[in-house]
Structure formats: C-alpha cells, structure tokens
Amino acid sequence: MARAYYDRLSAQDNTFLLGETPTSQMHVAGLQIFELGDLATEQGGVDFDRLRRATEAVLHRIPRYRQKLRWTPLTGNPVWVDDPDFRLEYHMRHTSLPRPGDLQQLRRMVGRIVAQPLDRERPLWETWIVEGLSGDRFALISKIHHCMIDGSSGVDLAQILLSVQPEKLVPEPVPYVPKAAPSGGELLRDEFLRRASLPLKLLRGVRALRQEADGLGSELGVRAKALGDLVGMALNPPSQTPLNGRLGPHRRFDWLRMPLEDVKAVRRAARCTVNDVVLTTATGAFREYLRRRNVDPGAIDFRASAPVSTRRAGDEGTLGNHVSSWMIDLPIGETTPAAQLAAIHAETRKLKESRQALGVELIMGVAEWTPPVLLSLGAQAVGGQVNTIITNVPGPQFPLYMQGARLLEMVPMVPLLPGMGLGIALFIYDGQLSWGFNADYALVPDLEVFVDLVRESFQAFAAAMNAEVQPPTASA
C-alpha cells in the first residue's frame, strides 16, 4: 500500500483561511499585460491551447498547484493533499473583451473576477487568459489563495511560469501521479503526536536562542516589548473613516505605473528609501482623498499595515507565508510632503529599532499551539486594527516572456481585510513601479479619483524635492 502523504499548513497560512468571509476573499491576484506576438491566432485571438500546454509542462515544479485542502477531524487543522481528480481546464479559463477592448473594460473584468471566491474543493488557484485587448495585446489575470503564497514567493512563482528568453518550445509534461492521501484517523493521530512534541520543540528553541543571542534575557526582553507594542496598538485602534466599514461582495480595480528611475530620483533628492517614497506618496493621496470626503485629516489617526518579508536563506522557491507586518500611523495631518516624509522616516526608524515585526512573528509561533477557533478570533482582532494595507514587492529588473510574448506590465492586488475598503500593492518590474488598487465597490465609489490623487501626490513630492520626473501613466 502506498505511503500516505500530506503537508500541514502553518498557523500563519491558516489565518488566511480562517479570516476569509463571504465578502472578504483572501486570495492575492495579479494582472499581467502581454504583447500578443506569435501567440496571435488567424482570427486575432490568443493561442490558448498552447498556453495551457506550456502551463501543464511546468506544473511538476509547483506541486501545490495540484493539491487541495483537507481538514483533520475534531481539531479542524488544514493540510494539503494531492488532488486525484485534478483537471487543468478547470483552473485555466479563456475569455474575451468586446473588440477592441479598452483598459476601462479590462478594469471592470478584473474587478468581477477577483470578487469571486475560489472553490475550496479544488486546488486554490485560477488563471484567466483575456483576449480582445486593443493594441495587439492580451491580459492574464491570476488568483491564488493567500494561504499558498506571500508576495515574495509569488515572484518566485512568476519566474517559474515565465521565461527570461522569448522561447516558444513547449516541453512534454511530466506525468502526474497523485500520492495517496491519509485517512482521517491518520491525520488525527499525527496531530495529537505533533501537539505532544511542542513542549520539547519550545525547549529546543529556547536553547537555540541562548546560543544565538548575546544575552537570553535581553533578547526575550526585546521580543516581549515587540509583543507589548503590538498589543498596545490593538487596544488603541485607529479612527474609522469613509474608507472603512462593512464590505460588500463587489470590487473595483485600478492601477498606475511610474518609471522606477523617477522614484529613485525622488529617493536620491529626499535622501530616503524607495519605501519612504511610496509611503509619503500614499500619505498625501489619503490626506487629500479624506479631505474631499469631509474628514479633517488632522483630527484622526490613520494606520497602515506594511507587510515585511521574513524569508531567510534557503526559503527561495518555497510556497507558503514568511511574512510579518509593521503597523504605521500615516501622518495625514501633516500638510507638506517634506513634513510627511520626516514623520514617516522617524516612524520607520523607530519600528526598526523596536523590532515591532517580531511581535507578529511571536504571535504566529504561539499560534502553532492554538486551536483554530481561537486563531480565527485572533486573526479577526488583528485585521481590525488598520485602515489600509500598503505592500511593496521587488520583482525582476529584466523582461519576461510567455511563449515568446513579452510581458509589458505586472500589476499586483492585495486582498481586503474585513472593514478595509482600499488596499494598495506595488510591484517593481523591468524599470517600472506599478501600483495596484483593490477597493470595495460601495465604500470607494470613485476609485479613479484616488488613483489621480496618488499621481498628483507623487508629482508634488518630486517638486518639493526638486526632482525632475515624468507624469505617471495608467498603463503600458
């Protein structure tokens, strides 16, 4: 009899399952725009069959794409098992815009697709190939549940599915032979054994910490303070704003891109980091947007979650989440870019010195002991303590191709936590910084206004720093 095989989800991966609600889907998504090139058919469409075969040829390098969830009896802990009924045609979809499709139609299509939940009875991903886009282009919309990947592993994944050369060869796929899944009894037995071993693992962790740290007491003190700071923020939630409230089932999606060299020009002129440029630009946009919604920016606290990668050497190419977060109070009460930058720089310096991200890491470590019902309550509590998310992921600074078709632009999308009406994700690719905006349809009825304010905020920041930049554009 074949040996049963499964992978257990970490507590952090599980929080993205437990935090999902009917109106808050926890999948990350992305929009990629390609040149049509040699993938064009005689009718002007996309050679979808070739793309399907090319994807099938690399699936053996991404085992999670052919795995689905199962739950341990009684405890409810999720695990990954091979899906014996995997069918690629369910996960790869082919659709079209009404020709000649424009970017506004594409935005609406992305909003509709990302609003739909993934089927938990199947592997948790979908890819939509969209033809009909004007300018001899096509689009690819991807959805992957956050319990499978974080931003950094998403970049690894993109480089598996894409190529650095305009190759058109479609290799033969490696035959898929699913491994046997364990029985419910085997899962339950293994879970009890795992929990019984946790005290010993904790003791080993303390011993390792003693060896790595100059002083065990000081290191534990730093971690305790980081946890205390996080708890303090949870007890002091930010103000409610028109961007926050009950989420509906529908989404709006938009994007903006700017030359990376312009961002670096502002960074050099301001003597700060790229992340400081992003946060200052976002602060200016949020300030003006809230002011237009009849909110006094100087009278409220506005907090952003900024994910921080905790991947270490050896984690490259692995799926799953290795991420912590900074909780940053954006200085929307400041009236000038220089004052906003100074406040953000002081805040991020304080966060680095206090090592606040350790608080989230410590919670996730303790969560390995926690029953799913308590972990779910914890995930909901943490998610309610921020007004927005701003995440920035560096990508490859060279062109990528899919079956010879050049990737022109890659736009990310971050999921919305309950009560959060707008999230921002940024991705750096081939000399461009792309901003992706995911918004609740009702809470942010004028997303295009916010996108324009981001553009204006960056221009104002650059002018204040005497940096010459080009106006950011909507797309390639």
Q: Is 176 helix (H, G, I), strand (E, B) or coil?
A: coil
CA distances from 370 to 12, 76, 138, 322 (A): 11, 11, 45, 19
- Measure the CA–CA gap between 133 and 32, rounded to whole angstroms: 12
Assess whether 322 carries a catalytic annotation.
no
Give which of 391, 386, 387 is closest to 437, Cα–Cα: 391
- The closest of 92, 68, 93 to 78, measured between CA atoms, is 68
Backbone angles phi, psi at 180, to 5 degrees: -65, 140
Q: How far apart are CA 11 and CA 368, in angstroms?
A: 5
- Cα distances (Å, whole numbers) of residue 342 to 47, 265, 280, 347, 349: 51, 18, 9, 9, 11
Kindly give, in sequence order, each residue whose CB lies less than 8 Å from that of residue 345, ignoring residues fewer than 6 positions away.
Answer: 272, 276
CA–CA distance, 108 with 415 (Å, rounded to integer): 17
CA distance 243 to 241: 5
Helix (H, G, I), strand (E, B) or coil at 312: coil
C-alpha torsion 268→272→278→282, nearest 10: -110
Q: Residue ranges of the alpha helices (H) in 419-446?
A: none
Residues whose CB is less than 8 angstroms from the CB of residue 371 and which lie 6 or more positions away in sequence, other chains included: 75, 76
**Contact (CB, 8 A) for 416 and 383:** no
Active-site residue (options: 27, 146, 322, 345): 146
Q: Are the C-beta atoms of residues 181 and 81 closer than 8 Å to each other?
A: yes
Active site residues: 146
